[in-house]
Amino acid sequence: MSELSKDNVADAFGRPLRSLRLSVTDRCNLRCSYCMPEQDYVWLPREDVLTLEDMATLTGYFTDLGVDRVRLTGGEPLLRRGLSGLIRLLRQNPLIKDIALTTNGILLADYAEEFYEAGLHRITVSLDTLRPERFHQLTRRDEHERVLEGIASIARAGFTGLKLDTVAIRGFNDDELVDLIEFGKQVQAEVRFIEYMDVGGANQWSQEKVLSRAAMLAMLTVHYGTIEPLPERGAAPAQRFVLSDGTTFGIIPSTTMPFCATCDRSRVTADGMWYRCLYATTGTDLRKSLRAGASNEEMRSLIRAGWEGRRDRGAEERKALERDGLRVGGLIGIEKLRADPHLEMHARGG
Ligand code: SAM
Ligand code: SF4
Ligand code: SF4
């Protein structure tokens, strides 16, 4: 379909379909306690995982219906062999304006140049701490140095607009907010603090561990003085702020100030399950239709109908449960996660 015939759809609340998070693998080389706290996992069957060509084809149906931003994620996306081939395929789609990557950074030094050549636009690295021993405590792996090397390789490869995403957890890294912003200045990155969410395997989540947007701003104001908010950018989840020296940073208040009202995101797992919300427990099996030989128009109709029926606002619903005192800890227990690995954050891509 050409730009002229692009068919923009809207969901039941009038929200457009604009952004797609493509999880290219559910495997990971870290075990972050807020995402993969267990010893063992049920993985998506290898034979179900889509080829990179199929992923590009599926993405094409989404772009025909309004998507113009794609984020590659996982699990750890750099564990997927041939990822730069997927970036090249996506670059051939003229409807995609922005291709971004979220990675834990461990393998980045090996691939940054290749990704730049392939046409990747932007990189976000997840970095929760600057302290190696704390990194080990969080991730159960000794890879902090490689993450820092990965971050250093990004600018060398030619990328600009680096973002560092930090999950802010009370009692874990709440004493590092300033250090992370200062580190961001050194590596020309904008730091974004994400509120800890109860999603998938976050079964160590509790309300007490959530460092709220308000608490973060209060802590940062003590150190930096006046902090000014920057104007909102459409459906972007991060609220951005500027310090008096011009440094900018973001807060993604997913838990205390959900942004469901403007949410334009879809998620496709590595085996082609499509979820209309990070918290959705049911999705649409696009792989099945693709492998059954559905025509392009049938695939587009399936996605159009799915989006038009979308009423998801998962984070707002969770917040309402809290307000009414109907919630204590994590909402989805380990048994349910084992029965359906698609519910895991590392399958769904964050
Ligand atoms: N492995 C890659 C990485 O860590 O960047 C990409 C996938 S990871 C699931 C995507 C993002 O989700 C990461 O920034 C991670 O910190 C975030 N995330 C995972 N679990 C989370 C949770 N319980 N609350 C908030 N953010 C979470
Ligand atoms: Fe950590 Fe990302 Fe792996 Fe989850 S998928 S364990 S957040 S590195
Ligand atoms: Fe979008 Fe669901 Fe997140 Fe709300 S909870 S912002 S609807 S993905």
Q: What is the DSSP string of 22-80?
A: EE--S--S---TTT--SS--PPPPGGGSPPHHHHHHHHHHHHHTT--EEEEESS-GGGS
* Length in residues, the chain: 350
Q: Tell me whether strands 265-268 and 273-275 are parallel, antiparallel or unpaired.
A: antiparallel
Closest to 102 measured CA to CA, from 38, 217, 37, 23? 23
For residue 202 and ligand 2, the question of a CB distance below 6 A is answered with: no
How many Cα atoms occupy the beta-carbon half-sphere of 339 within 13 Å? 7
Name the closest-CA residue to atom 20, ligand 1: 35
R_g of the chain computed on alpha carbons: 19
Give the pTM: 0.95
Q: How far apart are CA 283 and CA 267, in angstroms?
A: 9
What are the extents of the domains in the chain?
A: 3-347
The pLDDT value recorded for residue 192 is 98
Q: How many A from CA of 77 to the centre of ligand 2?
A: 10
Helix residue ranges, H only, the chain:
52-64, 83-91, 108-118, 132-139, 144-157, 177-186, 213-224, 286-291, 296-308, 314-323, 334-339, 345-348
pLDDT, residue 326, reads 60
Centre of ligand 2 to C-alpha 35, Å, is: 6
Residue-level pLDDT at 3: 47
Pairing of strands 189-195, 228-229: unpaired
319 alpha carbon – ligand 3 mean position (Å): 12
Contact 169, 62 (CB under 8 A): no
Q: Does ligand 1 lie within 6 Å of residue 210's CB atom?
A: no
For residue 139, give Cα distances in angstroms to 29, 129, 174. 9, 11, 17
Digitized pLDDT (tens) for each residue of the chain, 350 residues in all: 544 456 899 999 999 999 999 999 999 999 999 999 888 888 999 999 999 999 999 999 999 999 999 999 999 999 999 999 999 999 999 999 999 999 999 999 999 999 999 999 999 999 999 999 999 999 999 999 999 999 999 999 999 999 999 999 999 999 999 999 999 999 999 999 999 998 866 678 888 999 999 999 999 999 999 999 999 877 788 999 999 999 999 999 999 999 999 999 999 999 999 999 999 999 999 999 999 999 999 999 999 999 999 999 999 998 888 777 666 555 666 777 777 888 888 888 77
Q: Which ligand is nearest to the CA of 210?
A: 1
Atom of ligand 3 nearest to the CA of 260: 4
- Pocket, ligand 3, Cβ cutoff 6 A: 258-260, 263, 265, 277-279, 312-315
CATH topology of domain 3-347: TIM Barrel (3.20.20)
- Distance, in Å, from the CA atom of 263 to the CA atom of 90, rounded to the nearest integer, reads 23
- The CA distance from 325 to 323, in Å, is 5
**How many C-beta atoms lie closer than 10 Å to residue 317's C-beta?**
14
Question: Which pLDDT score, from 0 to 100, does residue 1 have?
Answer: 53
Taken in order 137, 247, 209, 321, the sign of the CA dihedral is negative
Ligand 2 centroid vs 345 CA: distance in angstroms?
8
25 touches 72 (CB < 8 A) = no
- The angle at the Cα of 129, spanning 125 to 134, to the nearest 5 degrees, equals 130
Assign residue 106 a region (left: φ > 0; alpha: ψ between -120 and 50; beta: otherwise).
alpha
Distances (CA, A) of 307 to 125, 264, 291, 346: 30, 10, 21, 23
**CB of residue 278 inside a 6 A radius of ligand 2:** no
Atom of ligand 1 nearest to the CA of 124: 5
pLDDT recorded at residue 280: 93
pLDDT at 202: 61
Please report which ligand is nearest the Cα atom of 105.
1
pLDDT of residue 249: 98
